[in-house]
Chains A and B, each alone.
Chain A
Amino acid sequence: MTASALTRPGQRERLPSKLGEIDWRLAGLTAIIACVGAMMLYSVAGGSWEPWAAKHLFRFAACFLLMLLLSLVDLRVWMSLAYPVYAVALILLICVELFGYTAMGATRWLNLGFTRIQPSEIMKVAIVLGLARYYHAASARDARFSFKLLIPVAMIAMPVLLVAHQPDLGTAMLIALTGLAVMFMAGLSWKVIIAGVAAVAAAIPPFVLFVLHDYQRERILTFLDPEKDPSGSGYHIMQSLIAMGSGGLLGKGYGLGTQSQLNFLPEKHTDFIFATVAEEFGFVGSFTVLVVFGLIIATSLRIASLSHSHFGRLAAAGVTATFALYVLINGAMVMGLAPVVGVPMPMLSYGGTVMVTVMIGFGLIQSVRVHRYMELPKGRGLF
Chain B
Amino acid sequence: MSGPSIFFEDVNERQGGFLRRTFLLGGFSVLGLTALSVRLAYLQTLQTSRYRSMSAENQFNLRLIPPPRGVIRDRNGVVLAGNRPSFRLLVIRDETKDLDTTLDEVAQLLPATAPRRRSLLREINQSPRFVPVAVATDLTWEEFARVNLHAPQMPGVMADVNEARFYPFGGAFAHVIGYVAKVSDRDIERIRKAGKDPDPILHHPGYRIGKQGIERSMDEQLRGTPGVQRVEVDAGGRQVGEDAENTTAPKPGSDVVLTLDADVQNRALEVFGEESGAAVVMDVRNGDVLCMMSAPAFDANLFVGGVPSKTYKLLSEYERKPLLDKALSGLFPPGSTFKMATALAILAAGINPKERVTCTGGYHFGGRTFRCWRAGGHGSMDMHNALKNSCDTYFYAMSNRASVDRIASAARALGFQSSFSERDFGNQKKGLVPDTAWKRKTFARDPEWHAGETLSVAIGQGALQVNALQLAVMAARIANGRKAVQPRLVRSIGGRAEPSGAAAPDLPFSQEHLDIVRAGMAAVANDVGGTAYRASQLGLGDILMAGKTGTAQVRDYKDGQSRKAAEWKRKDHGLFVAFAPHDAPRYAMAIIVEHGVGGALAAAPRGREIMRTALLKDPDMRARIERPLPDLGAPSGAPSGGEPDVYQPTGPAPTDEAAARIGGPVEEPR
Contact = CB atoms under 8 A, between A and B. Distances in A.
A244 B234 CA distance: 18
A16 B231 CA distance: 61
B50 A245 contact: yes
Given A140-B10, A290-B36, A259 B55 contact: yes
Given A242-B51, A278-B44, A262 B234 contact: yes
Contacts of A249: 44-45, 48
Given A140-B17, A290-B37, A378-B5, A324 B32 contact: yes
A317 B22 contact: yes
B52 A248 contact: yes
Given A185-B22, A317-B25, A378-B5, A258 B58 contact: yes
Nearest to A252: B55
A258 B236 contact: no
A375 B18 CA distance: 16
Contacts of B28: 324
Nearest to A184: B21
B14 A140 contact: yes
A241 B33 contact: no
Contact of B44 (A283, A304, A331): A283
Interface string A113-151: 000000000000000000000000001100100000000
Contact of B55 (A258, A297, A313): A258
B36 A246 contact: no
Given A258-B59, A263-B234, A181 B29 contact: no
Is chain A's interface secondary structure helix, strand, loop, or mixed overall? helix
Contacts of B41: 283, 287
A335 B232 CA distance: 26
A320 B18 CA distance: 14
Contact of B33 (A248, A327, A377): A327
Is chain B's binding surface mostly helix, strand, loop or mixed?
helix
Interface string B17-55: 111011011101110110111011101110110111011
B235 interface: yes
A243 interface: yes
Contacts of A263: 234-236
Contacts of A247: 44, 48
B51 A244 contact: yes
Interface in A29-60: none
A337 B41 CA distance: 14
B13 interface: yes
Contact of B240 (A248, A262, A278, A286): A262
Q: How extensive is the interface on chain A, given as a class?
A: 35 or more
B59 A245 contact: no
Given A283-B44, A335-B43, A294 B30 contact: yes
Interface string A218-256: 000000000000000000000101111111110000000
B25 A184 contact: yes
A242 B54 contact: yes
Contacts of A327: 32-33
B22 A305 contact: yes
B25 A286 contact: no
Contacts of B26: 297-298, 301
Contact of B2 (A298, A320, A377): A377
A298 B30 CA distance: 9
A359 B35 CA distance: 26
B25 A282 contact: no
Contacts of B18: 185-187, 305, 310, 313-314, 317
Given A328-B33, A335-B36, A379 B2 contact: yes
A262 B235 contact: yes
B244 interface: no
A378 B5 CA distance: 7
Contacts of B5: 377-378
Contacts of A101: none
A233 to B, nearest CB: 16
A321 interface: yes
A276 to B, nearest CB: 13
Interface string A283-310: 1001100100110011001001100001
A332 interface: yes
B33 A290 contact: yes
B44 A248 contact: yes
A143 B26 CA distance: 20
Contacts of B44: 244-245, 247-249, 278, 282-283, 286
A242 B25 contact: no
A294 B30 CA distance: 7
6 A-B pairs with the lowest CB-CB distances in the bound complex, closest first? A245-B51, A246-B55, A263-B235, A262-B234, A283-B44, A187-B17
19 contacts: A140-B10, A185-B25, A187-B18, A245-B50, A245-B52, A246-B52, A259-B55, A262-B58, A262-B233, A263-B234, A264-B59, A287-B41, A294-B29, A294-B30, A297-B33, A305-B18, A313-B18, A324-B25, A335-B36
Given A287-B41, A331-B32, 4 more contacts: A139-B10, A143-B14, A187-B14, A248-B52
